[in-house]
Amino acid sequence: MCGIAGLWRLAGASDADPAASALRMAAAIAHRGPDGHDAWGDPAAGIGLGHRRLAIIDLSPTGAQPMHSVSGRYVITYNGEVYNFPELRRELQARGHTFRGTSDTEVMLAACEEWGPEAALQKFLGMFAFALFDRQERTLRLVRDRLGVKPLYWTITDGLLLFGSELRALMAHPRFKKTVDPEAIDAVVRLSYVPAPATVFRDVFKLPPGSILTIRPGQEPALTRYWNLVEVANRAPRPWKPAEAIEAIDALLRDCVARRLISDVPLGAFLSGGTDSSAVVALMQHVSNQQAKTYTIAIEDKTFDESAQARAVASHLGTDHTEVTLAPDAAVGLVDKIADWFDEPFADASQLPTFLVSQATRAHVTVALSGDGGDELFAGYPKYAILERIWRYAALLPRPARMAAAGLLTASPAALLRLSAAFVDPARGERIGEKARRIAAALAAEGIDDAAAAVATVGLDAPGLVNDATGSCGLARPADLGMGDIVSRMQVQDMLTYLPDDILTKVDRCSMAVSLEAREPLLDHRLIELVWSMPAPLRRGNGRSKYLLREVLARYVPRELTDRPKRGFSIPVGAWLSGPWRDWAEGLLEPQGLARFFDAARVRSLWQQHGRGQDHATALWNILMVQAWARQWL
């Protein structure tokens, strides 16, 4: 796991020392790679590749980057892990290739020489973002892994290509233009993040998951997909029997976990006590036959605390368990640092506990396995069942009737709360008003994709709140998605948007802020393809949340320890904004500062209403994250 950065002068005067420029860009992301740094450049070609190293496999100098292929044709700067490199190495050795060290990077380069970059890429199993320069054909390929675990940003400004693992690497170059896109700010207010391919800056992009950006001088950059989730989801399912499906998932999951235990440094795992992380930890111990180190966060507000469940699972499995508490007073000291972890406005409030558990984990190990991706793959989010239930009845009504009903509910907060109580755990009162408004918006939607988008709008969809924004930066809706059932469509949309742009962004930035590598066994693309080969009723257990994964987990952990409603990884944002965070928030919501991006009067009104007990926690948090980011980076 590392950080990458680079530049290429495609037109105009070349940089006299592109390697030095790439090294300066990489220095901005030193937290991603504290174990070493280097750069390579070709002044005649105007290209420079920079690298920051977090040594995980092959800790010797033979694993250092940027790295050249044996022939010298290819140069790579690479962030991530290719988990099947041992068998690829053996296959390449049988074809006559020799290796100096034991890194996966060297195997990737040999594979590119043997089969060509595109064919080699199809063989790679892992998480990665890399830049591969073909010196013979003067071609640069920027590549991101299939599910978007690892990030990659790029822009072309005045004939200069800049790229890097984080925006701050691009910002470190003096030619970078910080032109804020109001549409991206509006997206953060609505969604809590900026959806790909957009970023907070105009003409700066996130490389989409499963993509290759090919750049050649004198030609427009060409974006192609080498793996497409929509194609996977559209394939005709096989006639699986439940017992056969559970056995297949169990066997493949054991392999997914085992591959992610390859490391030359100590490993651990995040453990919340829920289905996903419990399954990963249970299989981790099973395949390694060693005591796992596990880490969890306790929240002082018991409504949000899951530490007891994590403790029970850890006790049953016999892990070496560490628990860290996030208290309101400690959170005050952390909240102002968020903008340093995220160089783009990002407002998923679970970023705080994610950072704390990463920090605690890094004190003992360098790699941590996580359970991310399980909710999207196995339909674990409550919103899936909520929207399915709503549309089962709403679809029987014409849209004008549904819109009228939604309007009446919105005008009657008490009725809206009663409706939401049928779908939302009343014990988790935090943000219940916001969830209720999302239910009403889904009821009024034109079709199932619009309803899904309404449920995904976790913040505030308020035209005119963000200056000069029209709401055009939204979620991707693949037009070629074949299945008709709403849950499957929502799963695909979440795996294309919310998963890479929110969940994986959060885990990547919070873990890499403390130089910790996070690995996600549930996002192995082979597992994705296996599960989507099963009929929808079987995948979703005929309404039983995460049925297939729960059945696998029951082989290792008693059901009574994990069979409980999903709680989510969150904190009491509303209460803390009214309490220990009030002064911090007030400082960021000063009218003159707000006016840069927002209708200050409307935001101040939301803040005052929140102080009087109305529920605007997520909307305010999203706005606060924009304000904190602007203070840090502009």
pLDDT in tens, 384-425: 888 888 777 777 788 888 787 777 766 665 555 555 554 544
Residues 586 and 630 reside in one and the same domain = yes
The reply to whether 206 and 260 lie within a common domain is no
In a domain, 404, yes or no: no
Last residue of a domain, one of 192, 210, 227: 227
- Between residues 411 and 551, which one has the greater pLDDT? 551
DSSP string, 352-390: HHHHHHHHHHHTT-SEEE--TTHHHHTT--HHHHHHHHH
Mean pLDDT, the chain, integer? 91
Both 374 and 514 in a single domain?
A: yes
- 258-298 confidence digits (pLDDT tens): 999 999 999 999 999 899 999 999 999 999 989 999 999 88
Same domain flag for 269 and 210: no
Verify that 241 and 223 share a domain, yes or no: no
Residues 582 and 625 reside in one and the same domain: yes
pLDDT value of residue 569: 66
DSSP 8-class letter at 90: H
CATH number of the domain encompassing residue 604: 3.40.50.620
We report the CATH number of the domain holding residue 155 as: 3.60.20.10
Residue 433 banded pLDDT, cuts 50, 70, 90: low
Which residues lie below 8 Å from residue 88, measured CB to CB, with a gap of 6+?
Answer: 82, 107, 111, 123, 124
Spatial contact of 467 and 598, defined as CB atoms under 8 Å apart = yes
b/e per residue, 157-183, with b = 16+ CB within 10 A? eeebbbbbbbbbbbbbbeebeeebbbb
Q: Is residue 400 part of a domain?
A: no
Same domain? 590 vs 516: yes
Report helix, strand or coil for 242.
helix
- Asked whether the predicted pLDDT for residue 249 surpasses 90, the reply is yes
**Could you list the active site residues?**
2
Domain that holds residue 209: 2-179+200-227
Torsion angles phi and psi, residue 38, rounded to 5: -165, 170
The dihedral region occupied by 238, where left means phi > 0, alpha psi between -120 and 50, and beta the remainder, is beta
Question: What is the Cα–Cα distance from 324 to 302, expressed in whole angstroms?
Answer: 14
Token representation of residue 278: 């419990």
pLDDT value at position 409?
A: 66
Indicate left, alpha or beta for 607 from its phi (over 0: left) and psi (-120 to 50: alpha): alpha
The SS3 call for residue 143 is: strand
CA distance 308 to 318: 15
Are residues 301 and 220 part of one domain?
Answer: no
Q: Which two tokens stand for residue 56?
A: 């995980």
Burial class (CB in 10 A: 0-12, 13-18, 19+), 411: exposed
CA-based nearest residue to 464, from 599, 634, 600: 599
In-domain check, residue 328: yes
Q: Does any domain span residue 462?
A: no
Question: Residue 338 — φ and ψ, nearest 5°?
Answer: -60, -40
Model confidence over 468-502: pLDDT tens digits? 999 999 887 776 777 778 889 899 999 999 999 99
Digit-coded pLDDT (tens) for 137-150: 999 999 999 999 99
Give the chain's radius of gyration (CA, Å). 24
Are 209 and 240 members of one domain?
A: no
When mean pLDDT is compared across 75-79, 287-291, 343-347, the lowest value belongs to: 287-291
The count of structural domains within the chain is 2
> What is the four-CA torsion angle of 556, 560, 564, 567, rounded to 10 degrees?
-70
| 8 A C-beta contact, residue 66 and residue 76 | yes
Q: Which of 234-238, 248-252, 329-333, 415-419 has the lowest mean pLDDT?
A: 415-419
| 223 and 304 fall within a common domain | no
Report whether pLDDT(169) > 90.
Answer: yes
Please check whether residues 104 and 54 belong to one and the same domain: yes
Residue 403 lies in a domain: no
Q: Is the pLDDT of residue 331 over 70?
A: yes
Q: What is the sign, positive or negative, of the torsion defined by CA atoms of 241, 244, 250, 252?
A: negative
Question: What pLDDT sits at residue 418?
Answer: 55
pLDDT of amino acid 481: 77
* Domain assignment present for 244: yes
Q: How confident is the model at residue 541 (pLDDT cuts 50, 70, 90)?
A: confident
Residue 427 clears pLDDT 50, i.e. is over it: no
220 part of a folded domain: yes
Q: Assess whether 113 and 85 both reside in one domain.
A: yes
Please write the tens of the pLDDT for every residue from 561-616.
Answer: 887 766 666 778 888 888 889 999 999 999 999 999 999 999 999 999 998 888 88
